[in-house]
Structure 1
Amino acid sequence: MQSPPTSSSAPPADQADASSWKSDLVSGFLVFLIALPLCLGIAMASGFPPVAGILTAVVGGIMSSWLGSARLTIKGPAAGLIVIAIGAVQELGQGDMPLGYRRALATIVVAAAVQIVFALMRAGALGDFFPSSVVHGMLAAIGVIICSKQLHTLLGVAPKAKEPLALLGEIPQSLGRMNPEIALIGVISLVLLFGHMALSKKVAVLKRVPAPLLVLLMAVPLGLYFDLDHEHTFTFSQQVYSVGPNFLVNLPGNLLSAITFPDFSVVTSGASLKYIAMFSLVGSIESLLSAKAVDMLDPQKRRSDLDKDLLATGVGNLIAGLIGGLPMISEIVRSSANIGYGAKSRLSNFFHGLFLLLFVTFAPMLIHRIPLAALAAMLIFTGVRLASPSEFVKTFRIGAEQLAIFSFTLVVTLATDLLVGVAAGIVLKLVVHVVNGAPLGGLFRPVIEEHPQGEGVLLRVRHAAVFSNYLKLKKQIARHAHVKHVELDFEHARLVDHTVMERLHELEDEFARAGRHLRIRGLEQHRGLSTHPLAARKKHAQSNPISA
Structure 2
Amino acid sequence: MRGSQSNVSHSHGTPGQASWKQDFVAGFLVFLLALPLCLGIAMASGFPPVAGILTAVVGGVLSTWVGSARLTIKGPAAGLIVIALGAVTELGGGDAVLGYRRALATIVVAACLQVLFAVLRAGRLGDLFPSAVVHGMLAAIGVTICARQVHVLLGVSPVARTPLGLLAEVPSSVARLNPEIALIGGLSLLLLFGHAALSQRVAWLKRVPAPLLVLAVAVPLALGFDLEHAHTFTFSHAVFSVGPSHLVNLPSNLLTAITFPDFSTVPSVLGLKYVVMFALVGSVESLLTVKAVDLLAPEQRRSDLDKDLLATGLGNLVAGLLGGLPMISEVVRSSANLGYGARSRLSNFFHGVFLWGFVAFAPGLIHRIPLAALAGMLIFTGVRLASPGELVKAYRIGAEQVLIFCFTLIVTLATDLLVGVASGIVLKAGVHLLNGASPRELFRPDIQEQVGADQVVLRVRSAAVFTNFLTFKKLLNRHALVRLIEVDLTEARLVDHTVMQRLHELEAELSREGRQLRVLGLEQHRGMSSHPLSARKKAPSGNLGLTP
TM-score per shorter chain, which class? over 0.9
Where does 1:449-460 land on structure 2 (aligned, <5 Å)? Answer: 449-460=448-459
Paired AA for residue 403 in structure 2: A
SS in 2 for 1:68: coil
Residue in structure 2 matched with residue 4 of structure 1 by the alignment: none
Offset of residue 265 of structure 1: 1.5
Where does 1:76-475 land on structure 2 (aligned, <5 Å)? Answer: 76-475=75-474
1:287 and 1:10 map into 2 onto residues whose CA distance is: 26
Offset of residue 442 of structure 1: 0.8
Residue in structure 2 matched with residue 486 of structure 1 by the alignment: 485
1:15 and 1:448 map into 2 onto residues whose CA distance is: 43
Offset of residue 452 of structure 1: 2.2
- Kept in 1, the 8 Å contact 2:150–2:375? The answer is yes
- Kept in 2, the 8 Å contact 1:501–1:536? The answer is yes
Q: 1:13 to 1:81 in 2, by over 3 A?
A: farther
Paired AA for residue 521 in structure 2: G
- Kept in 2, the 8 Å contact 1:467–1:500? The answer is yes
1:337 and 1:87 map into 2 onto residues whose CA distance is: 29
1:429 and 1:276 map into 2 onto residues whose CA distance is: 25
Offset of residue 489 of structure 1: 0.1
1:358 and 1:117 map into 2 onto residues whose CA distance is: 33
Residue in structure 1 matched with residue 510 of structure 2 by the alignment: 511
Alpha-carbon displacement from aligned partner over 1:211-253 (angstroms, at most 9, x marks no partner): 0000000000000000000000000000000000000000001
1:437 and 1:266 map into 2 onto residues whose CA distance is: 45
Q: 1:496 to 1:10 in 2, by over 3 A?
A: farther
- Kept in 1, the 8 Å contact 2:49–2:250? The answer is yes
2:300 and 2:81 map into 1 onto residues whose CA distance is: 31
TM-score by length of 1: 0.97
TM-score by length of 2: 0.97
- Kept in 2, the 8 Å contact 1:13–1:345? The answer is no
Offset of residue 453 of structure 1: 3.4
Offset of residue 463 of structure 1: 1.2
Offset of residue 16 of structure 1: 1.3
1:251 and 1:245 map into 2 onto residues whose CA distance is: 11
SS in 1 for 2:145: helix
Q: 1:270 to 1:14 in 2, by over 3 A?
A: farther
1:314 and 1:306 map into 2 onto residues whose CA distance is: 12
Paired AA for residue 16 in structure 1: T
- Kept in 1, the 8 Å contact 2:232–2:239? The answer is yes
Paired AA for residue 289 in structure 1: L
SS in 1 for 2:329: strand
Alpha-carbon displacement from aligned partner over 1:304-362 (angstroms, at most 9, x marks no partner): 10000000000000000000000000000000000000000000000000000000000
SS in 2 for 1:251: coil
1:511 and 1:370 map into 2 onto residues whose CA distance is: 48
Offset of residue 541 of structure 1: 1.1
Alpha-carbon displacement from aligned partner over 1:128-155 (angstroms, at most 9, x marks no partner): 0000100000000000000000000000
SS in 2 for 1:17: coil
SS in 1 for 2:303: coil
SS in 2 for 1:290: helix
2:372 and 2:366 map into 1 onto residues whose CA distance is: 14
Paired AA for residue 163 in structure 1: T
SS in 2 for 1:351: helix
1:521 aligns with 2:520: yes
SS in 2 for 1:441: coil
1:13 and 1:137 map into 2 onto residues whose CA distance is: 40
Q: 1:120 to 1:14 in 2, by over 3 A?
A: farther
SS in 2 for 1:55: helix
Name the % identity.
Answer: 71
Alpha-carbon displacement from aligned partner over 1:474-495 (angstroms, at most 9, x marks no partner): 1100100011000000000000
Paired AA for residue 379 in structure 1: L
SS in 2 for 1:302: coil
Offset of residue 8 of structure 1: 6.2
Offset of residue 15 of structure 1: 5.1
SS in 2 for 1:463: coil
Offset of residue 18 of structure 1: 2.1
Count of equivalent residues: 538
Paired AA for residue 221 in structure 1: P
- Kept in 2, the 8 Å contact 1:34–1:212? The answer is yes
SS in 1 for 2:229: coil
Alpha-carbon displacement from aligned partner over 1:142-191 (angstroms, at most 9, x marks no partner): 00000000000000001000000000000000001100000000000000
2:299 and 2:385 map into 1 onto residues whose CA distance is: 27
Offset of residue 512 of structure 1: 0.4
Structure 1 window deviating more from structure 2 (12-21 vs 188-197): it is 12-21
Residue in structure 2 matched with residue 530 of structure 1 by the alignment: 529
- Kept in 2, the 8 Å contact 1:39–1:50? The answer is yes
Offset of residue 297 of structure 1: 0.7
Offset of residue 542 of structure 1: 8.3
SS in 2 for 1:18: coil
Alpha-carbon displacement from aligned partner over 1:63-115 (angstroms, at most 9, x marks no partner): 00000000000000000000000000000110100010000000000000000
1:333 and 1:446 map into 2 onto residues whose CA distance is: 37
Offset of residue 287 of structure 1: 0.4
SS in 2 for 1:233: strand
Offset of residue 407 of structure 1: 0.3
- Kept in 2, the 8 Å contact 1:40–1:54? The answer is yes
Alpha-carbon displacement from aligned partner over 1:20-55 (angstroms, at most 9, x marks no partner): 100000000000000000000000000000000000
- Kept in 2, the 8 Å contact 1:436–1:542? The answer is no
Residue in structure 2 matched with residue 42 of structure 1 by the alignment: 41
- Kept in 2, the 8 Å contact 1:115–1:280? The answer is yes
Residue in structure 1 matched with residue 61 of structure 2 by the alignment: 62
Paired AA for residue 158 in structure 1: S
- Which ranges of structure 1 fall in alignment gaps of 5 or more residues? 1-6
- Kept in 2, the 8 Å contact 1:161–1:170? The answer is yes
1:509 and 1:13 map into 2 onto residues whose CA distance is: 23
